[in-house]
Amino acid sequence: MPALGRELDKSSFRRQLKSSSDVVELDEFERGAQRPAQLFRASEGFLF
């Protein structure tokens, strides 16, 4: 998966995302062709 001009390892990216305080895991899922995707939102005060 290319992002910002370089390849990312999906499992490492997911693990870092879940352990970050910059995002909050939601109790919602997005249905797709495969298994549902877990949804996240930015934390209060997070700036891009």
Check if the beta carbon of residue 19 is closer than 8 Å to that of residue 25: no
Report the chain's terminal Cα–Cα distance, integer Å: 20
| Burial track 17-37 (b if 16+ CB lie within 10 A, e otherwise) | eeeeeeeeeeeeeeeeeeeee
Query: Which tokens in the block code for residue 5?
Result: 């001009």
What's the whole-model pTM score?
A: 0.57
Condensed to tens digits (0 to 9), the pLDDT of residues 1-48 reads 566 778 888 888 878 877 888 888 899 999 888 889 888 899 998 887
DSSP reduced 3-state for 34: coil
| Predicted local distance difference test score (pLDDT) of residue 29 | 92
Residue 24 CA to residue 19 CA, distance in Å, equals 10
| Predicted local distance difference test score (pLDDT) of residue 47 | 81
| Predicted local distance difference test score (pLDDT) of residue 3 | 64
